[in-house]
């Protein structure tokens, strides 16, 4: 994912994006992400399985997880918490999509560094 930045310059940073979709009217969901933050959160859960990932040598690293939610509303709430996107996500053709927000963690790290340097 490449976007056009200020002054027509191309932003070549890889965006951290997470997708979630439901398997065939079932309680099982898939989450696909390239965000290290979301990957680490999901790997810590004991009820989550890795069901796919990109091959070595790919320019972008993606992992697909499989997990279970009893209700669609619970899945949506969990997706919002995982990505820290609040209500800044899209839903189209049964797929949730969010750019992962890391603002909260950056602010807390910055505050901690300032306190240490005093």
Question: What would the pLDDT profile of 74-85 be if each residue is shown by its tens digit?
Answer: 999 999 999 998
Q: Which domain holds residue 23?
A: 13-117
Q: Is residue 73 part of a domain?
A: yes
Residues 6 and 38 sit within 8 Å (Cβ to Cβ)? no
Instruction: Specify the length of the chain in residues.
Output: 118
Evaluate if residue 105 carries a pLDDT over 80: no
User: Structural domain tally of the chain?
Assistant: 1
Work out the number of other CB atoms within 10 angstroms of the CB of residue 33. 24
pLDDT confidence bin for 12, thresholds 50/70/90 = low
Q: Is residue 32 part of a domain?
A: yes
Residue found under tokens 């800044």: 88
pTM of the model: 0.72
Q: Is residue 7 part of a domain?
A: no
Q: Is residue 2 part of a domain?
A: no
The percentage of residues in the chain with a pLDDT greater than 70, rounded to a whole number, is 73
Question: What would the pLDDT profile of 42-56 be if each residue is shown by its tens digit?
Answer: 999 999 999 999 887
Q: Is residue 8 part of a domain?
A: no
Work out the number of other CB atoms within 10 angstroms of the CB of residue 91. 12
Q: Is residue 31 part of a domain?
A: yes
- Structure tokens, 62: 């993606």
The 3-state DSSP class for residue 15 equals: coil
Evaluate if residue 93 carries a pLDDT over 50: yes
Q: Is residue 59 part of a domain?
A: yes
């Amino acid at each position: 994912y490449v976007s056009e930045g200020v002054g027509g310059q191309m932003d070549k940073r890889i965006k951290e994006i997470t997708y979630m979709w439901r398997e065939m009217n079932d309680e099982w969901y898939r989450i696909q992400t390239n965000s290290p933050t979301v990957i680490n959160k999901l790997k810590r859960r004991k009820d989550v399985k890795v069901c796919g990932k990109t091959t070595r040598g790919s320019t972008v690293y993606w992992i697909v997880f499989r997990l279970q939610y009893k209700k669609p509303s619970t899945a949506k709430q969990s997706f919002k918490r995982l990505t820290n996107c609040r209500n800044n996500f899209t839903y189209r053709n049964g797929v949730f999509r969010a750019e992962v927000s890391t603002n909260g963690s950056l602010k807390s790290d910055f505050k901690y560094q300032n306190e240490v340097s005093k």
